[in-house]
Every structure is written in C-alpha cells, then in structure tokens.
Copies of this chain bind each other. A is one copy, B any other.
Amino acid sequence: MPCYPSLDAVPEPVDLAVVATPVSAVPRVIQDCVRRGVRVAILVAGGFGETGEEGRQREEELVRIARTGGMRILGPNTLGVLVPRSGLDTLFIVREKAPRPGPGPIAFISQSGAIAVTRMSAAAWEGIGFHSFVGLGNRADIQENELLAYLATQPGVGSVAMYLESFADGAGFFDLAREVSTRLPLSLVKAGRSPGGAKAASLHTGSLSGSERVVGGVLRQAGVYRAYDDEELIDVAWAMACLPLPRGDRVAVVVSAGGHGVMLADFLEAAEHSVGLRLASFSERTQEKLRREVLPFASVANPIDLTASATLPMYERVLSILAEEPSVDAVLCSVQVEPPGLDERLVDVIIAYARATAKPVVAASIGGEASLRVRRALNRAGVPAYPSLWRAARALGAVVERARRLHPEWF
C-alpha cells in the first residue's frame, strides 16, 4: 500500500481524505487538503465540539478553512463511511472485529458510530444488506438533512434508517422527511429521551436533545417510523425496504406449531403488546380447499397450523391457496425445520412463494445454527426473517402502518 509523508507528496489527484491524525495536527492537514483540491475530508479524531465551547470553536475554524476551497467535512469524531456495493470503507474498526454487511437496500445515517457498527455486524450475520452507512460524528459541516436529500435521489436505496441524538436543523428535517417519506420509508431512533440519556448525548456528540413530546409528534406527522430500540430500527428498515405495501391489514398466519400460531395471533390482535393488525377470516371455499391439503387434526382457520406433521408440499399448496384468497393482505410465516417432514428446502418454498405474490411475506425462525441458516437464506433473497415471533409481527406492523398512511383508501 503506497504511503506518503504528506498530502503534497501524493502524485495523483485526491478526491477524499480520511484524516486520522491526532487533534492537534488536524488544522494543518485540512489546509493541505484545501490546497490539494480535496473534495471531502472525513475527520476521525474526537476532542472537538463534544468537549465544550473551545472545541466547538476549533471545529468552526476547520469548516471555515475548508469552505475557502469548497471542501466539505464529515465529522469530526466520526467512525467514517461504508458503501458495500463500491467497496468504499473508511471505518476505523478492522473487518475482523466488525464484519461488514454486503450490498443491500438499507441506508444508515448515524450520530453514533458504535450503534451503527454493532448493528451492521449483527445484520450482516443475519444476511441483511446495506446501501451505505454514514457516521455523522459532531456534524461540523455535513448533517443528516443533506444526506437524506441525497439518498432520496439514489435508485439503490430502499429504506433510510437513522440514529440521532439531536436534529441539526429540526424544522428542515420535518419538511424534508414529510416529502421524502412518501417515496422512501424512513425510520429513526431519537436517543437522549431521558435526562440521563440527554446529558450523555451532550458529552458524546455535543448535541442538545430537544423536547421528547415535540419529537414524537413531528415524526408522526412527517411519516417517519419511530423506533425506540436500535434492534427495532434495523428490523423495521429492513422489512420496509424489502416488502411491497399490503392492500389492507388482514394477515394470514402459517405455522407448523400451535404455540407459534397462538403467539402470533396475540401479537397481531391482542389489546396490549400487539401491533394492531387483524387475522384474516378465510372464506368457506378457501377453508374447504385448505382442508384438502392438511391432516385431519390440523387447523384451517387462521392461524393455519400444519402441525408437526407438516411437509414441504403442504406448505407449498397452502401458500398458493392464500395467494389467491382476497381476504388476505399479508402472510406471516413461522419457518421451523424441526418437524420430521420438513428440512431447509422449506426456505426455497417460502422464497418462491414470496417472489410470486404481490402480498408481503414476513418470516420468523427461532433457534440455533439451523434457524440462523434459514434466516440468512431468506434475508438474502429479500424475504425479511427474524429470530423472534414478536419482531416479525412488529416489522409487518410497520409496513402496514406505512400502507395505511400512504393509501388510507385501502383500509
């Protein structure tokens, strides 16, 4: 790897500089960058605005110098940028410690590098792909609104997930998100909701967290899914990126285990701790058709319980009946390969079905290594798959919520 003692010694033109020097050297390096016509500098070092007023002034000075050459700054105090499709990867955590996700539809903007890198490693492990990640750091120059406006023009972006501890420009975010969210699903964790969290945020990225009540109302009006949990953020962003919009809230549940059916029904319909969807009521004719495909003691009311005697052809035929059933808007499937008549080829059945239908299909697969393989294969094929029944139901709930907002006439 070619190394040079200074930027001036680099023979080719330089577009992007990753500045990984200590704080004290940063101003000089920024001046070098401007002189060399660098277009963007990513500043890794901490010790600026998050440390107080003096640091904030040093940040402003850097931006002032950069502006003299029309250069933009990301950070300081940023983990960097990742674009899996092109291989651009400036993250300062080695790949061995933090495996990167493959290419995919989620764009992730985060004010915390750690939240992003840990969630992307977890997502990579599950077979979930990302369009890009940008660590905002202290946002001395580039901030989330500009990035969001840019991402909204990019064809490969299927969903934008955001972790913010504060808004760089709240009013601007609201106007932009309200417009963008009609075309692109947006989800956001607004952290620093508690006094202790807000204080930690001010020390972390030097940001002021703002009123909790205002944030909730604004996000709702702007059509942004508000996640409270970093896990929920990626779960929901993934489902919204992958799935077509359902034409209603009536869900068919297909399981090979009675208990999974009972829990999923509760998660859809119960008064508390549910996502407020409905179990579809099948027509007599459909129930008749289903009855021909399953064992006598299996249930063909919704949830459809194929029981531990389930087979691959049973799944195949039951799913194809549901594809034609007009009372079904979406399918929630427990994909377990434990029953003796099932194996991992069940994944292919689910994928083929999901590709052939215009209805969203969400899967849950719970367990150890085998269920991880099932989820990976499903996720890689664009069928969102979760290691918990609740997470699967919640992700489907987010997609229905979006459909209801964009097409109230369907509900």
Point out residues on A near B: beta carbons under 8 Å. 46-47, 50-51, 92-94, 97-99, 110-119, 121-122, 124-125, 163, 165, 189, 191-197, 199-201, 203-205, 212, 228-231, 255-263, 265-266, 268-274, 279, 297, 299, 301-303, 305, 307-308, 336-340, 366-372, 387-390
Question: Nearest chain B CB to A119's CB is how many angstroms away?
Answer: 7
Known A-B contacts A192-B266, A307-B46; the reply to A200 vs B389 at CB < 8 A is: no
| Residues of chain B contacted by A370 (CB below 8 angstroms) | 97, 121
CB <8 Å contact, B229 and A390: yes
CB <8 Å contact, A194 and B114: no
CB <8 Å contact, B338 and A118: yes
| Residues of chain B contacted by A117 (CB below 8 angstroms) | 338, 367
CB <8 Å contact, B124 and A368: yes
Question: Nearest chain B CB to A137's CB is how many angstroms away?
Answer: 11
Identify 8 residue pairs between A and B in the complex whose beta-carbon atoms are under 8 Å apart, listed by A's number: A97-B337, A99-B367, A113-B308, A114-B259, A165-B262, A200-B299, A200-B301, A229-B263
CB <8 Å contact, B270 and A121: no
CB <8 Å contact, A193 and B266: yes
| Residues of chain B contacted by A268 (CB below 8 angstroms) | 194, 196
CB <8 Å contact, A259 and B302: no
CB <8 Å contact, B303 and A259: no
Q: How many angstroms from the CA of A112 to the CA of B259 in the assembled complex?
A: 5
| Residues of chain B contacted by A368 (CB below 8 angstroms) | 99, 121-122, 124-125
Q: How many angstroms from the CA of A163 to the CA of B219 in the assembled complex?
A: 37
| Residues of chain B contacted by A262 (CB below 8 angstroms) | 112, 165, 191-192, 197, 200-201, 204
